[in-house]
Amino acid sequence: MKKIIIALAAVAGIVVALSSCCQSVDIAGEWSVTEVDGNALPDLWEGQKAPFLSFDPAENRMHGNTGVNIINSTYTLDGKNLEIGQAMSTMMAGPDEWMKTEREIIDALGTVKTVKAVSSEKIELRDDSGKAVLTLVRK
């Protein structure tokens, strides 16, 4: 009887481990970009539209503002694996600091491979080494 209980506990543990490793992260909705490569975004926008990303799972579309320009792309979310397609962007110019931050966000988006839910209100987009390249907070 003791062996049966131990075996059932082991099977239950495996089922829980497998189900949690493959669950998709809820990225639907609009997210403020708060960090790039572990560095907090500077407070530059003074009432202007600060950088954000929005994910629409019904259409697998990503939309956002990277500081100066609007971007649009497709994405695929498979469990925790996140693939962002090539983005289209407007081509406006802005203050140098805004453009620098925008370039950092766009470069980081190009390296995203996975997403991790830190909480229901915060996610990290990570590169292939597992490093958080973008931190997003739900709006």
Of residues 127, 33, 43, the one with CA closest to residue 82 = 127
Mean pLDDT, the chain, as a whole number? 89
pLDDT tens for each residue of 92-122: 999 999 999 999 999 999 999 999 999 999 9
* DSSP type of residue 85: -
Amino acid, single-letter form, for residue 112: V
Q: What is the mean pLDDT of residues 30-57?
A: 93
Stretch among 11-15, 21-25, 93-97, 123-127 having the lowest mean pLDDT: 11-15
Q: What is the mean pLDDT of residues 37-56?
A: 92
Residue 22, pLDDT score: 59
Domains and CATH numbers, the chain: 25-138 (2.40.128.270)
